[in-house]
Amino acid sequence: MSEPTAQPVLLVEDIGPVRRLTMNRPGALNALNEELVAAMSEAIRAAGADDGVSVVILRGAGRAFCAGYDLNEDAEGGEHDARHWHEELALSTERMLEFTDCPKPTIAQVHSYCLAGGTDLMLACDLAVAADDAKFGYVDIRFGSGVVSMFLPWVVGVRRAKELLFTGEDRVDAEQALRMGMVNRVVPAARLDDATLALADDIAKNEPFVIETTKRAVNRAWDVAGFRAAMTANTELDVMIETANLPARDEFRRITQRDGLKAAIAWRDERFRGAQA
């Protein structure tokens, strides 16, 4: 889905040693489409290679951080075979891991909706500062889809991850997310920019080589425990989900194409929330 303006889908600015990346698809709640994901990939690799950058902040323009992958793009793509899905899902996880693997610390600055692929993106960052209006969760299961990048159990633990993923809960508030360990700090929405920059500045005061090497050491603890193998396994299992073309997934796509995404989301949520949706 193309944007109605000629503005870039990703804004890049330097604030001293901090590079701030702003997802700029506000009309789509910064949903992740091919253009935005490619722009973020290029930007995070550039930041990692720039000696003048000490910390990277990722945030979203407009009313939300990120509402997940672009479901209009998914509906337009229709059904695919296993080979296509494996290539697409593996690439999506690879793009998420670029934030984890960037030599510079990455901080997600989250406000309002941070859902599904948006939650993946937040978890792929090293740290997260959330506004008190933030909402997190994975609704994928409610329309027959799977989780693209399985960061969640590595961050919050297996039992909490299973509960969130099995229920399709997408109303985890900021304080719950803090208790679970999904985010590091929760601040009033009006202070989100300043609080995130203050954290970035505190990190940037330290010796860059030590910070980068320490990040590698912490990430290696995950790798030794099997993190990369688990990510690969999730991709293979998610291919099974996506190629099943379950009735709920087909119906969601049909409604999206016929009546628009809002109608499809209303249909998806009606079974779970009824009149309160």
> How confident is the model at residue 2, as a pLDDT?
47
Please determine, for residue 126, whether its predicted confidence score (pLDDT) is greater than 80. yes
The Cα–Cα gap between 239 and 49 comes to 33
Q: What is the mean pLDDT of residues 191-195?
A: 98
Q: Are 131 and 174 contacting, i.e. CB atoms less than 8 angstroms apart?
A: yes
Domains in the chain, number: 1
State the chain's mean pLDDT as an integer: 93
Phi-psi map region of 105: left, alpha, beta (phi>0 left; psi -120 to 50 alpha): beta
Q: Which residue has the tokens 């399985």?
A: 150
**Residue 4's pLDDT is what?**
47
**Mean pLDDT value of segment 248-271:** 84
For residue 209, is it within any domain?
A: yes
Domain region containing 123: 10-276
The DSSP-derived string for 155-204 is: HH-HHHHHHHHHHT---EEHHHHHHHTS-SEEE-GGGHHHHHHHHHHHHH
Grade residue 277 by pLDDT with cuts at 50, 70 and 90: very low
Q: Flag whether 31 is in a domain.
A: yes
Q: Please check whether residue 151 lies inside any domain of the structure.
A: yes
Q: What is the pTM of this model?
A: 0.92
Positive or negative torsion for Cα 159, 162, 165, 168: negative
Distance of CA 51 to the CA centre of its chain: 26
Q: What tokens does 105 get?
A: 């610390």
Does 2 reside within a domain?
no
Which one, of 177, 65, 80, lies nearest residue 111 by Cα?
Answer: 65
Q: Which pLDDT score is estimated for 134?
A: 98
Residue 77: predicted pLDDT: 65
At residue 237, the pLDDT reads: 96
Per-residue pLDDT reduced to its tens digit, 92-102: 999 999 999 99
Q: What percentage of the chain exceeds 90 in pLDDT?
A: 78
Query: DSSP characters for 55-103?
Result: EEEEEESTT-SB--B-HHHHHHH----HHHHHHHHHHHHHHHHHHHH-S
DSSP state of 149: S
Question: For residues 64 and 30, is the Cβ–Cβ distance under 8 A?
Answer: yes
Residue 41 lies in a domain: yes
Average pLDDT over residues 185-206: 98
Q: Is the pLDDT of residue 1 over 50?
A: no
Rounded Cα gap, residues 90 and 236, in angstroms: 9
The reply to whether 1 falls in a domain is no
> At 275, is the pLDDT very low, low, confident or very high (cuts 50, 70, 90)?
very low
Q: Find the CATH number of the domain harbouring 124.
A: 3.90.226.10
Tens of pLDDT, residue by residue over 65-89, are: 999 999 887 767 667 789 999 999 9
Cα–Cα dist 45/118, whole Å: 19
pLDDT band of residue 58 (cuts 50, 70, 90) is very high
Question: Do residues 147 and 120 make contact, with C-beta atoms less than 8 angstroms apart?
Answer: yes
